Homo-oligomer: A and B are copies of this chain.
Amino acid sequence: MSITSIDRHAMGHALGEVQRNTPLVHSITNYVTVNDCANALLAVGASPIMSDEPADVADIQALCASLVVNIGTLNAHTIEGMHVACATAAELGHPIVLDPVGAGASGLRTSTAAALLDRYPVSIVRGNMSEVKALAGGAGTTHGVDVCPDDVVTEQNLEASAAFARQFAESSGAVVAITGPIDIVADASRAYALRNGSPWQGRITGAGCMLSCLTGAFAAVSEDMLVAAMGAVGAMGVAGEEAEGRMKSHDGNATYRRRLIDALCTMDPMSCARGIEHEEVGA
């Protein structure tokens, strides 16, 4: 059982620290959602830098406070960049967030994510349950870049899912954030369920990628990686609800995308903290 439970104050505080410190976050991410990732980082008060060229990433990472690696549109050249950047971050003691997009969907994605997790001191893994199961070498069969229906976290499998998350955190040495209708964030000893968000987040591309980048921003200003991951997941969930509340007749997913980033931009740490619904599971 955990010694101290994570309270909403700590999560709100982390957002405030991002706003106060404007951490530089280096992302190697996919070209599909990269613009949203940059604007989401700016929205929460961080400063984004994207660089994936092996000959560029070490200098860039050295300027930054954290690294986010997202394998959504990996290629042979950017995989090399991911390794160089992770090695630099490791050397400098910067937190690394890994988003294993599509792990389980292709051999290259699974092996690339597994190699990064194996070789570098990844601080936080942020993915859906199928991707995390694929990384754990388990039975997850990723449905493209979306979670496999059988893998969705529900009230029924919540205890088992939390146990799996703690186990994965223990074996990998990373905090894990498994997101979906119910989010689970865990380290080796504690697992939390977070119940914020909106079904609209599944109707846009990039909700997960943006969250991984926010996690990099929170990690850059936090001591405790569990607090960082929960703060980012909580902030995105609260923003997701706020954005849903502003949808009008005839609005669709493009408007939702805009409202989601706007909600991150106008978010107050205190009211964000008040909105987060979380509870410890199992333990």
Given contacts A56-B106, A106-B59, A252-B261, contact A50 B75 (CB under 8 A): no
The smallest C-beta distance from A33 to any residue of chain B, in angstroms, reads: 6
A72 at the interface (CB under 8 A from B): yes
Interface centre among A32, A34, A107, A251 (most CB of B within 10 A): A32
A199 at the interface (CB under 8 A from B): no
The smallest C-beta distance from A243 to any residue of chain B, in angstroms, reads: 10
The smallest C-beta distance from A67 to any residue of chain B, in angstroms, reads: 13
**Considering only CB atoms, which chain B residue lies closest to A206 in the complex?**
B35
Task: Select one of B31, B35, B105 contacting A60, CB under 8 A.
Answer: B105
Which of A3-11, A38-46, A116-124 lines the interface with chain B? Answer: A38-46
A56: chain B residues at CB < 8 Å are 74-75, 106, 108-109
A34: chain B residues at CB < 8 Å are 31-32
A144 at the interface (CB under 8 A from B): yes
A266 at the interface (CB under 8 A from B): yes
The smallest C-beta distance from A168 to any residue of chain B, in angstroms, reads: 23
A21 at the interface (CB under 8 A from B): no
- CA A38 to CA B32, docked complex, whole Å: 8
Interface residues of chain A, those whose CB is within 8 Å of chain B, are: 24, 30-36, 38-39, 42-43, 47-53, 55-56, 59-60, 63-64, 72-77, 102, 105-109, 143-146, 203-206, 246, 250-255, 257-266
- What are 13 A-B interface contacts by the 8 Å CB criterion? A24-B143, A31-B31, A32-B34, A35-B36, A42-B205, A43-B252, A47-B143, A47-B146, A56-B74, A59-B107, A59-B108, A63-B144, A250-B262
